Amino acid sequence: MQTAEVAPAPVAVTSSRWEQWSDRVNPLVIKEIRQGLRTRVFWVCFGLMLMACTLLALLAYVQSQDARDFSRAGRDFFLAFFCCLSVVHFFVIPYTAYRSLAREREEETWVLLVLTGLGARRILRGKVSSFLVQAALYASAVGPFLLFSYYLNGISLPSVLVVLGLGGAWLVFLTLVSVCAATLADGRMGRALVHFMLLAVLVVALGQGVGISFMFGHSGDRVLRDDDFGLGLATALMVMLTHGWLLFETAVARLSLPTENYSRGPRLAWGAQWLLGLVGGGAVWWFAGRSHAVAEAFGVAGALQLGVVGLFVATDVDGQARPLRAATRPWSLLRPGAVRGFRLTVLLLVLWGAAWVVLQSQSGMVTYNAESMRMAMAALPLYGLLYLSGALLMGRLPRSNRAASPVAVRVLFALAVVLGSALPPLLALLVGVDADDPLINLLNPLVGTVNFGTQTSGGPKMTWGLLQFLMGVTFLAVFAADRVLVERERQAHQP
């Protein structure tokens, strides 16, 4: 048996230009494309798609020959070709990306990749890029048919570009969702659940993608001329872009080693999303004539989104790995650890609420419920913080670690919100007052917010005093949760 020396020897061979280029490309891209082009899925999908497009093109040709007057069949055929591409782009590619990463984790090849020093971010970037390259290969097959449909008349070039542009963004977003989903569960049951949920999501997403393209295609230039269309399009693209980024960073964090600063990426993306939301929303508010409705919509929707993401950020594990501790300062909010995640959540939620309350108060035309809506906008982030702090206190205050895990605290939060929303109205009915009684429902996140936003004939249903009370209770809960998390981090860092 051969046992030759395995140590490297000096190399004097020059590399070709192709090799130099390939050395600069992410290794994952080369490997995944090599692998992908050998799979049966690729060739079956490619063949079927090409066959369907050819048949449709033949049908279009026959129709155009039979047409007595000027043909306007381009729109329908464009949508038919786009449908063929959509099945691959909105279902096959994201699902294959999910399977690829999920198998990498199941077969434990992920560990081997991480140890090469590539890092989770480069590996995932390579994965996503390789699937987008495969998507481009599919698109290259359908491209000539789409061009052919344009020459059949019936659809304008801007409509074609808008549908293709949105389709591309949807493809990237769904691929990122799938990659993130592949990192979610560790156990067999969890993985199976995520698998089926993703399949359902992708079926719905395929329907949405095709439906929206049909809507655009059929409405034609009419929609494009609509003043609000550009605003809606920009908002949709921004939501997809920022959430796609956040999901990507979440996937990277989930796959990072414990010694890495895994929380920096997702928290940075979240912060950037917050800033973009504030600046973009502020711009929309300004250009919409300092509209109340815009301020209220952004204030409420943003607080809900921050609350949901904050739940994941604030329920990080306690403490951080030894290599990271030395350079961590009290304001290092991007570093791992529940205490810093919680503080970042508090900061972003409070600033968001305050900013939109101020903008709403500066809005142009005063509406009848402006004051009550302002109170609701202030109350919503407070409820989020109150229940988040409550869940953290319930999970991490006891000495036992049974309910201290991130998942357990999230479950506690969900339970607290459900019980906090359902029990006070029942209690109110038991004591013989209205189910939405302001005092009994003061700490109810659902009815409480609605009450704060309700305007009666005599003015707002709730008072500023009650809001201040809610503020005080929330402050105490946040303070207590912060102290508990600080203490737990201290214990976690003890040898």
Q: Does 230 bind another protein (CB under 8 A)?
A: no
Place of tokens 């939301």: 277
Q: Does 34 bind another protein (CB under 8 A)?
A: yes
In whole angstroms, the minimum distance from the beta carbon of 250 to another protein comes to: 21
- Structural element, H or E, at residue 455: strand 455-456
- Position among 1, 189, 365, 430 found at the interface with another protein (CB under 8 A): 1
The number of residues that bind another protein (CB under 8 A) is 44
- Position among 33, 38, 227, 463 found at the interface with another protein (CB under 8 A): 38
Task: Output 15 or 362, the one with its CB closest to another protein.
Answer: 15
- Position among 55, 67, 112, 301 found at the interface with another protein (CB under 8 A): 112
Query: Binding string to another protein for residues 392 to 431, with x set by CB under 8 A, is what?
Result: ---------x------------------------------
332-347 burial: b if 16+ Cβ within 10 Å, else e: bbbbbbbbbbbbbbbe
Stretch that binds another protein, among 5-13, 193-201, 277-285, 474-482 (CB under 8 A): 5-13
- Position among 193, 197, 204, 259 found at the interface with another protein (CB under 8 A): 259
Q: Does 490 bind another protein (CB under 8 A)?
A: no
Alpha-carbon distance of 402 to 172, in angstroms, equals 39
Residues 374, 377, 379, CA angle at the centre, nearest 5°? Answer: 110
Stretch that binds another protein, among 15-23, 171-179, 261-269, 430-438 (CB under 8 A): 15-23
Q: Does 327 bind another protein (CB under 8 A)?
A: no
Long-range contacts of 402-409 (CB under 8 A, 24+ apart): 404/318, 404/488, 406/312, 406/315, 406/316, 406/317, 409/315
Query: Binding string to another protein for residues 116 to 135, with x set by CB under 8 A, is what?
Result: xxx-----------------
- Structural element, H or E, at residue 459: strand 459-460
Q: Does 41 bind another protein (CB under 8 A)?
A: no
- Position among 165, 258, 289, 472 found at the interface with another protein (CB under 8 A): 258
Burial of 468 (0-12, 13-18, 19+ CB in 10 A): exposed
- Position among 109, 208, 362, 367 found at the interface with another protein (CB under 8 A): 109
Q: List C-alpha distances in Å: 437 to 201, 343, 442, 448.
A: 39, 33, 8, 9
Q: What is the DSSP string of 188-199?
A: HHHHHHHHHHHH
Q: Does 72 bind another protein (CB under 8 A)?
A: no
Stretch that binds another protein, among 115-123, 161-169, 355-363, 410-418 (CB under 8 A): 115-123
Q: Does 468 bind another protein (CB under 8 A)?
A: no
**Per DSSP, what are the bridge partners of residue 460?**
455
What is the DSSP-derived secondary structure letter of residue 456?
E
Stretch that binds another protein, among 150-158, 197-205, 252-260, 267-275 (CB under 8 A): 252-260
Strands (E), 44-149: none
Task: Output 109 or 456, the one with its CB closest to another protein.
Answer: 109
- Structural element, H or E, at residue 17: helix 17-24
Task: Output 23 or 434, the one with its CB closest to another protein.
Answer: 23
- Position among 3, 65, 140, 457 found at the interface with another protein (CB under 8 A): 3
In whole angstroms, the minimum distance from the beta carbon of 489 to another protein comes to: 15
Residues 329, 478, 262, CA angle at the centre, nearest 5°? Answer: 40
Q: Can you give the C-alpha Rg of the chain in angstroms?
A: 27
What is the DSSP-derived secondary structure letter of residue 39?
S
Q: How far is CA 39 from the centre of its chain?
A: 30
What is the DSSP-derived secondary structure letter of residue 366?
P
Query: Which residues here bind another protein, judged by CB under 8 A?
Result: 1-9, 11-15, 19-20, 23, 27-28, 30-31, 34-35, 38-39, 107-109, 111-118, 257-259, 321-323, 401, 495
